[in-house]
Amino acid sequence: MKYGIVAFPSKKLQDLANTYRKRYDPHFAKITPHMTLKDSFDASEEEIQTIVKQLDELAAKYAPLNIHASRISSFFPTTNAIYFRIEPTEQLAAFQHEIQENISYGETKHVFVPHITIAQKMSDSEHDDIFGQLRMTGVDEKDTIDRIHLLYQLEDGSWTTYETFRLSGAE
């Protein structure tokens, strides 16, 4: 089964992201707006029990994540994805690094760029037009994320929560 580890922002930030995702993200119905902490990976039921224990330990170590969506950016020319850029912090980088180190399933597909995708899978001309419009609109939202989620993928391609972990530590 396919799993992934994400952090969901507050409803306010999700609603803002969804105003764009409804129109520009074909994955809109498959998963709510999120920040990916570990790309999707395959694991067995036994392996997942180990991963749950590791995530419990990490969540007990780290304090809630303070994030700042500071601007609208793009992964062009790698992909035509547009996103809310989340300003990197030492805490967020350390937390994501520990997840990668401790949960060594799957391959790291990209360098970690904290973000919330708002548009993807567009043609080049569509991307250029939409990106130009959205950059002028901008974003400046601060948020606190106090839990992370282990998700699994359903047969229809949508994602649902397997388990939630409250960030309750001091780091």
In this predicted model, what pLDDT tens digit does every residue of 60-102 receive, in sequence order? 999 999 999 999 999 999 999 999 999 999 999 999 999 999 9
Quick check: helix, strand or coil at residue 139? coil
**pLDDT given for residue 121 in this prediction:** 95
* Cβ atoms of residues 131 and 76 within 8 Å: yes
CATH H-level superfamily of 2-166: Cyclic phosphodiesterase (3.90.1140.10)
- Which of 27, 8, 16, 13 has its CA nearest to residue 137? 16
**pLDDT given for residue 11 in this prediction:** 96
Catalytic residue among 34, 68, 110, 149, which?
A: 34
Output the average pLDDT for the chain. 95
pLDDT digits (tens, 9 = 90+) for 113-152: 999 999 999 999 999 999 999 999 999 999 999 999 999 9
**pLDDT given for residue 21 in this prediction:** 97
Q: Is 163 a residue whose pLDDT tops 90? A: yes
Is 115 in the active site? yes
Is 68 in the active site? no
Catalytic residue among 110, 115, 127, 149, which?
A: 115
CA atoms 10, 15, 20, 25: torsion sign? positive
Q: Where are the domains of the chain?
A: 2-166
Q: Give percent above pLDDT 90 in the chain.
A: 92
**pLDDT given for residue 171 in this prediction:** 86
CA atoms 126, 131, 137, 138: torsion sign? positive
Quick check: helix, strand or coil at residue 132? helix
For residue 26, cis peptide bond before it (omega within 30 degrees of 0):
no
